Amino acid sequence: MVVGQPYKMFFIKSFFNKLYYKKYSKKSYSLSNVDLVLDRLFKDINQGVYIDVGCNHPIKYNNTYLLHEKGWRGINVDGDKSSIKLFNLFREKDYNVNCVLSDKEEIKEFYFYHERSAINTLSKELVNSRTTKPTKIVKIKSKTLNQILKSSPFNISKINLLSIDVENHEYEVLKNFNFSEYKIDVIVAECIDLSQKKLEIHNQSLNFVMNSNIYKLLVSNDYKLINWIQSDLIFVRNDFEV
C-alpha cells in the first residue's frame, strides 16, 4: 500500500489537472488567438451572425469557427472554389460564396498560388513584395460586400461580426460598404505593412496602423481600435456594449 501510494496520488492529480484544464481553458482555432478575444466580446450572444471574407478553411486558422461551435451562423466568402467546397461540407448551415470582393463589380486579376492557400490575393502590390510568386493569374469578376449581404439569407439580420483577411485588399472591400445600414458590432481586419521583410510582431508599428487607410476608414465610420494581435486589428463600434 505504501509503495503504491505515490502512484495513486499521481493518478488523482492527473485526473484533477485534466478536469480543471477542461473547465478553465478554451481552444483557439485562429492563427493568433483572435477568436478568443471575439468569444470574450460576445460572451452573452449564443446565436449571433458573422461574415468571414477570405475564410480559407472552415476550421483551421479560422476566426469564426469557435463562434460557429457556439451556435452562430453566417456568410463565408473566398475566391478559391476548393475552400468553399469544404465550407459546404463542414458548415452546411452557413451561406458559402465562391467569389472575390472589392469596392466595385469588375473583372480583376486574382493571383492564385495553390488550392486553399492563405496567400491568394487581388493585390499586385503584395505579390510584387513577395519572393514567392503565384502559379497562375485568374481573371475573375469581383462583387461588393453590399451585394453579397443583399443576396444572402442574412440580408435583414443583425450582423455582429465581420472578419476580413484578403491579403492587402481589406480597404477596398470596405471602401464603399454601407456602414449606416449594416451597423456591425465588431470588425476584424488584417493590416499588412509591405515595408517589412518579415511579418514579425516586433517589427510592427502603431504609427503605421494609425496612418493606414483601413484605420482611418473605420474610425471615420464610428469605430475604435480596441485590440491588435499580430497583423489583425480588432475594431468595435463606439456604441457597442459588452
What span, in angstroms and rounded, lies between the C-alpha atoms of 24 and 71?
20
For domain 27-237, give the CATH number.
Answer: 3.40.50
Per-residue pLDDT of the chain (242 residues; tens, 9 = 90+): 444 666 565 566 565 555 555 566 788 999 989 999 999 999 999 999 999 999 999 999 999 999 999 999 999 999 999 999 999 999 999 999 999 999 999 999 999 999 989 999 999 999 998 888 999 999 999 999 999 999 999 999 999 999 999 999 999 999 999 999 999 999 999 998 888 776 656 667 899 999 999 999 999 999 999 999 988 999 999 999 87
> Could you tell me where the DSSP H helices lie in the chain?
5-24, 34-41, 65-70, 81-90, 124-129, 145-150, 170-175, 206-210, 213-220
Give the domain ranges of the chain. Answer: 27-237
Note the pTM of the prediction, 2 decimals.
Answer: 0.89
